[in-house]
Amino acid sequence: MATIINRVRQFVQQLFGQTPEPEQKKEQIVKGLVKALDLTEEREIACEEVFEVIDQYAELVSQGESPDKVMPLVQHHLIICGHCREEFEMLLDMLNAKPA
């Protein structure tokens, strides 16, 4: 793991070049990249694929079902993709909203 972290640090240094980025910001970027690498699965799906079924996933969640057993790739994608997770949470909020 230390080797991966060092490689990512080198990558970030190459990315930023000689720009005087605060070390704290560089460290956050490195940790974020390492976390993303750590969460990478052998099979993943893209945002477009998630958007095709996110409504079904949200409906299952709102009904108290466990969609992680039926749609584990969608669940994994929502863990690692903030944009799709926001869309899912908005859908879930709409499904759980009580009519006025």
Instruction: Please report, for the chain, the start and end positions of each structural domain, with discontinuous segments joined by +.
Output: 2-39, 47-96
Higher pLDDT, 68 or 61: 61
Task: Report pLDDT digits (tens) over 38-50.
Answer: 656 666 788 899 9
Q: Give 81's contacts (C-beta < 8 A, 6+ positions apart).
A: 47, 50
Give the global pTM: 0.58
Q: What are the CB-based long-range contacts (under 8 Å, 24+) for 89-97? A: 91/54, 91/55, 91/58, 92/58, 92/61, 92/62, 95/58, 95/59, 95/62, 96/62
Residue 2 has pLDDT above 60, yes or no: no
Residue 15 has pLDDT above 80, yes or no: no
Mean pLDDT of 74-87: 89
At 37, the pLDDT band (50, 70, 90 cuts) reads: low
